[in-house]
Structure 1
Amino acid sequence: MAEGVGVISKRLFRRSWRPFGAGILLLVGLVLAVQALAPVLISSSIVRDGIERALSDWTGHDVRIEGPPKLSFWPEPEIEVSRIVVTKPTPAGIRVLARVSRMTADFRLLKAIGGSLEFRDFTFFDPEIFLLRDEEGRLDWAQEGGLTAAIRSAVEVDGRVVLDRSLDVAPGDVTINNGRVEVKDVATGRVWSGRGITGDLDWPRLSQPASLHLTAVVNGQALQLSGSSGEPLLLLAGRSASLELSLNSDLLAAEFAGTADLAKGGFLSGPVKLSTPNTQAALAWAGVPISDLASDGRLSIEARLLTTERALRFDELHLTTEWMEATGIIDLLLPQDRPLRVTGTLAANRFDLADLQAATRPKPDGDGKGSFLDRMELDLRISGQDVSLANLSLTQAAVSILRENGQSRFDLVDGTLGGGDMTGQVITSARAGKLTTDVAVSVRNADLGEIFETLKLRGPVPHARGSLELTLATTDDGWSGWRKGRGSFRMTTGPGTLAGLEPETILNRARQGRYQPLTNPEGQDFEYQSLDLSATFARGLAEIETAIIEGDGLRVKFSGALPLTEGGLALSATISRPEQQGEENVLFIGGSLSEPVVIALMPPAIPASSD
């Protein structure tokens, strides 16, 4: 019984298989027939004219294919053309916009047989694109092509792009092999170039998302670029659309994810990251003239980016350099009739006052040219927990930096030094290729002994709490120009000590002979009650105007000059007791700051006659 059922099943299967198999054979035969007849039914010249027309309609420019076309129909219908030239007429003549050595594209066979050509999945070999950016920032590729028509008609409906179906073409996969792009900026005369461009653009239809992956060599630097957008047509239309970008190279890495608007002025909103191991090299690669504002060390930036037509804001900024870490907010303003302006507030872990001032002062550039980094305007406030100046360390310092119209104002608003308060100001002007700098520094109620010891000053210095006032005017570069500048200095203290300088001990030693060391060899100190010293200086030489030290029943008064660097002392010290009128002892002090000596004990002054 079972055997009979099996025989019947086999017969039924054979009867049903025959028409099914015949259908398959007929379909295969039809495909083979079409493939065999395709070269006869489709003229290569017609396909070439079709792709020439398609490219012209797409770009809106004149397209000429100079090489003979080649058709293949297996495994997919494909056309290959060579020596493609894209041009546009200009008042100066025909301008070449692009050249392609070879290109392939797929097309639909049945539509081609019916006289309707539709191409997709393009591959370009050795393409060259030449762009000209005019004074208003427009590129000479803008034309009335199919892409432009699609851009103009695109609208957003419920989060998706909608446009006329006749314009919603399917570029498919676009592959580039060894491309080159050259952009010439008419306004600046600079030429930006990228070569070795290889990658893919995946854009199924104009109304759908697109993604791009490229490798290229730009200005001698190999890099990788990836990008995607959910609404690429809106992005090209200058409307708000999603955008993700990443750039990677040995010199620079950058990421952005958010929304963008590429209309005039541009708009970006979203988190951004940027890092480089060498800031100077990255600026040079980007074509930005190197500035003191950038070091040759690492730089990384993380922030939430927000741009408007005339401003770019880095909110929630985290900035890391070779010498500091900082958080805050920075705005880059682009006014129409003024240079780039940077404003903002940063809180840093540490920074160097002298380096920061040197980096932000104007440059002695007589013709007003130079890098935009050197000429841009600044309005910054920076605070730091650990701030250095030469060998000094300040705590909880805050500075304000203002630079505009060839002048910078650098204010130390608040700082703690030696347990006291420190403020200061440096104003630098660049005029006719020269720098002039005015410095004012004030230290109040600080441990001056600690400060002088940190500075490693030579010679006897007071150990006391007190105040310092310094002014300086120089034509040299800021802080380092004090040796050539002119200024004034004042120091006042309360009770303190001058180590090894007890006056009466010095007098007794001076009476024994000449050229005695000023400092007492057995360490007798001068415990005084107050000190008041004021002096002026010019070109490294200080002239004492007032110098009075009051002790217990003893007064010492100095006059003369002393060098601030190298050179010999020329001082006189008058030692007296107020209760002993007319009895004064005068010491003449010479030698050097590091090793002063008493050269002579002058005879006491003769009291004036009472007659």
Structure 2
Amino acid sequence: MPSPLIWRAIWAVSIAVIVAVLAFVAVPYFASNRIVRDRIAWEMSAWSGFRVTIEGTPEISIWPQFRATLSGVTLSKWSDDKAPPVMQAERVDIDLSAMAALRGDVVFSGVQLIKPVFRIEPAEHGLLLPAAPSGGRVARAIDAARETVKANPGKPDAVKLPQEGFGSIEFRDGRVVASVDGSEEEVVTGLSGMVDWEALNAAGSLTANGTWRGESVSVEANSPQPMLLLAGGAAPFTVSLKAPPANLSFEGNGNFSAKSFFDGQAKFSAPSLRRALYWLRAGIAPGATTGPVSVSSKVSGNGDRIKFENAEMTVDKNPGNGALDISFNDAMPVISGTMAFDTVNLAAFLAAFTTTAAAPGDLDAIDTSFADRFNLDLRLSAAHATAGPIQLADMAGTAQVKNGLAVFDISDAGAFGGNIQASLRFDLRPEGTQVEMKLLASDINGAEFTSAAGMTRLMPTGTGTVSLILKGPGKS
């Protein structure tokens, strides 16, 4: 005969089983009547700050995960009924808490967006960004965090940051479209990834991959305090972009306020500088492939100015170092700085600006549209330099671009046993590009010079000085 203690244990287990069975049976009822119908759209709206609509009848699954599957979900602005949705998804799967469902509450632990379309539109400074929400828990949390940052900008009290749980948002096979003046253009296709952010005061990360400008791109970003960054405070963060034309990464500190700044270590590499500049739409026309480039540098700055210090670079397998300064205060960006190499190929440098249509001697075919995109003041030096068959020693030169005028100078270099100075100038005019070339070669060996120039029968072979100026339309 079992003892009373054993009977109590049997009854306790039996009751627990009955309660579990009743809960399992009751969850679909409560879910379908109290959550799906009345609460999911409201809860999504409460978090996002957008008006949420759901088409069709939601489906509830219990095993292996308590989940609601929604079809035809859209998030729209409350203030503009006629504006296209900020986000729309063919299907949304929401992982829910079963115990919260029995209480009539909605607690999301994860959201999966299937075939979403995200819309971005022009914002300040010409950037394309998603529409800002009008309220919502996340927006209110950011506002509260801003007050914390404002109270102590140098060292905000992390304990006072909002502590609500958030979860994860996964997206698959999505698109990003830009909506400008009533027309739409695809920006990113095949977009998949995840935002993983357990709580608003915890660390968060973003991973995403898709096709941008015809190339497969993957992006990763994370921060131990993303809420501080969103609120305009300073916090550490890392970000990396990987694509066939170029790889870029940054690790350091910064903030994204109106007085934004960043300070850290950046790395950039590309198998072809020309291809990378064309892909990034830096005003460079497509053309012959140039050699690989890589840069590792300390970088600091803000929206008005970026400084690259102690930069170590390799251009076409030739290592060098230098510093760059990029300013955005003028009508066009201004790039200035110095670069020093042990060896540099000047022909490869100029090839970055030459179109594939360029024929030998046709200087008018050199792409000079970059002169309308930025101003440049770059000083270049090299212990050894090559310009085709010409070998230069201790070369000092400059590259300057300003107001439609591009000038490439060799101010001093040793060659042919003497010294040379050279200049190549492009003047952009409505009637066509005007080109001017100058050469001054002093105390050179005539035999070496004429051999390099291919004029062995036309020039004297003794030591002498050559001065040459050519000016006219590029085609002639």
Task: Quote the residue 2:409 is aligned against.
Answer: 411
User: Match for residue 376 of structure 1?
Assistant: 374
Contact 1:50 1:117 in 2 (8 A): yes
Offset of residue 79 of structure 1: 1.9
User: 1:86 matched to which residue of 2?
Assistant: 75
* Residue pair 1:135, 1:186 contacting (<8 A) in 2 also: no
Shift of 1:75: 4.2
Task: Name 1:567's counterpart in structure 2.
Answer: none
Q: Which residue matches 1:103?
A: 92
Question: Is this contact kept in 2: 1:87–1:98, CA < 8 A?
Answer: yes
Question: Which residue in 1 is equivalent to 2:313?
Answer: 319
For residue 23 of structure 1, the aligned residue among 12, 24, 38 is 12
Tell me the distance in 2 between the aligned counterparts of 1:400 and 1:345. Answer: 9
User: How big is each residue's C-alpha offset from its partner over 1:376-410, in whole Å with a ceiling of 9 and x where there is no partner?
Assistant: 11101000122233432110100022221111333
Pair 438,252 (structure 1): closer, same or farther in 2 beyond 3 Å:
closer
Provide the rounded CA distance (Å) in 1 between the counterparts of 2:25 and 2:79: 46
Secondary structure at 1:338's aligned position in 2? coil
Residues in 2 aligned to 1:359 and 1:398: alpha-carbon distance in whole angstroms:
20
Report the counterpart of residue 124 of structure 1 in structure 2: 113
SS of equivalent residue, structure 2 residue 232: coil
Distance 1:148 1:438 in 2: 58
Alpha carbons 2:44, 2:52 under 8 Å: kept: yes
1:457–1:138 distance in 2 versus 1, CA, 3 Å: closer
Q: Which of 62, 79, 101 does residue 51 from structure 2 map onto?
A: 62
The one-letter amino acid paired with 1:196 is G
Alignment partner, residue 347 of structure 1: 340
| Matched residue, 2:439 | 441
Partner of 2:189: 195
Distance 2:156 2:95 in 1: 31
For residue 240 of structure 1, the aligned residue among 231, 234, 239 is 234
Equivalent residue in structure 2 for 1:257, among 251, 268, 287: 251
- Which structure 1 segments of 5+ residues have no match? 1-10, 478-483, 485-611
| CA distance in structure 1 between the aligned counterparts of 2:289 and 2:211, rounded to whole angstroms | 25
Measured at CA, do residues 92 and 71 of structure 1 come closer, stay the same or move farther in structure 2, by a change above 3 Å?
closer
Task: Go from structure 1 to structure 2 and tell me whether the alpha carbon gap of 1:94 and 1:407 turns closer, same or farther (over 3 Å shift).
Answer: closer
Cα offsets for 1:126-180 (capped at 9, x unmatched): 1111111246436352122221111111136877734565xx3322122222222
The 5-angstrom pairing of residues 469-480 of structure 1 reads 469-476=467-474
Contact 1:436 1:474 survives alignment (8 Å): yes
Pairing 1:104-183 to 2, within 5 Å after superposition: 104-134=93-123, 136=125, 137=127, 139-143=129-133, 144-154=135-145, 155=148, 161-163=158-160, 168-183=163-178
Contact 1:383 1:397 in 2 (8 A): yes
RMSD between aligned residues: 3.4
Amino acid in structure 2 at the alignment position of 1:212: L
> Could you say if the C-alpha distance between residues 313 and 79 of structure 1 is closer, same or farther in structure 2, counting changes exceeding 3 Å?
same
| Partner SS, residue 236 of structure 2 | strand
**8 A contact 1:292–1:359 mirrored in 2:** no
Give distance in 1, aligned partners of 2:352 and 2:29: 74
Work out the percentage of aligned pairs sharing the same amino acid.
23
TM-score normalised to structure 2 length? 0.84
User: 1 CA distance for matches of 2:328 and 2:435?
Assistant: 28
Q: Which amino acid aligns with 1:276?
A: A
Structure 2 counterpart of 1:332, which letter?
Answer: I
How far, CA to CA, are the matches of 1:29 and 1:250 in structure 2?
A: 59
Q: Distance in 2 between matches of 1:149 and 1:323?
A: 51
Task: Check the 8 A contact 1:332/1:342 in 2, yes or no.
Answer: yes
Report whether the alignment pairs 1:430 with 2:428.
Answer: yes
Q: Are 1:127 and 1:179, in contact at CA under 8 Å, matched by a contact in 2? A: yes
Aligned to 2:399: 401
Matched positions, count: 459
Any conservation in 2 of the 1:333–1:340 contact (CA below 8 Å)?
A: yes
Structure ranking higher on relative contact order (CA contacts 8 Å, 6+ apart) = 2
3-state SS, counterpart of residue 96 of structure 1: coil
Q: Pick from 402, 417, 420: which aligns with 2:418?
A: 420
State the SS of the aligned residue for 2:38. Answer: helix
Please state how far the C-alpha of 1:93 moved relative to its aligned partner.
Answer: 2.5
Q: What runs of 5+ residues in structure 2 fail to find an aligned partner?
A: none
- Asked if 1:34 is matched to 2:34, the reply is no
Q: Quote the residue 1:555 is aligned against.
A: none
| Superposed displacement of residue 437, structure 1 | 2.9
Mapped contact 1:132–1:186 kept (Cα < 8 A): no
What secondary structure does 1:213 align onto?
A: strand
CA gap of 1:122–1:395, structure 2 versus 1, over 3 A, is: same
1:223 match? 217
Q: Is the 8 A contact 1:47 1:117 kept in 2?
A: no
Encode CA deviations 1:390-449: one digit per residue, 9 max, x unaligned.
Answer: 432110100022221111333322111123222233433212242223333222233233
- Distance in 2, matches of 1:285 and 1:446, equals 43
Q: State the Cα distance separating 1:232 from its structure 2 match.
A: 1.1
- One-letter identity of the residue aligned with 1:381: R
What is the CA–CA distance in structure 1 between the aligned matches of 2:353 and 2:318, rounded to whole Å?
16
Distance (Å, rounded) in 1 between the aligned partners of 2:13 and 2:200: 37
Counterpart in 2 of 1:521?
none
Instruction: Report the equivalent of 2:462.
Output: 464
| Pairwise CA distance, 1:183 | 2.7
Q: Match of 1:569? A: none
Describe the shift of the 1:39–1:476 C-alpha distance in structure 2 as closer, same or farther (beyond 3 A).
closer
Partners in 2 of 1:71 and 1:405 — Cα distance? 64
How far did residue 472 of structure 1 move?
A: 2.6
Q: TM-score w.r.t. structure 1 length?
A: 0.67
The answer to whether the 8 A contact 1:293-1:373 is kept is no
Aligned counterpart, 2:328? 334
With over 3 angstroms needed to count, the CA separation of the structure-2 counterparts of 1:163 and 1:126, relative to structure 1, is: farther
Cα separation, 2, equivalents of 1:265 and 1:350? 40
Correspondence for 2:385 among 374, 384, 387 = 387
Shift in alpha-carbon separation, 1:405–1:80, aligned structure 2, 3 A: same
Moved more, 309-318 or 217-226: 217-226
Change beyond 3 A, Cα 1:476–1:371: closer
What amino acid does structure 1 have at the position aligned with 2:267?
K
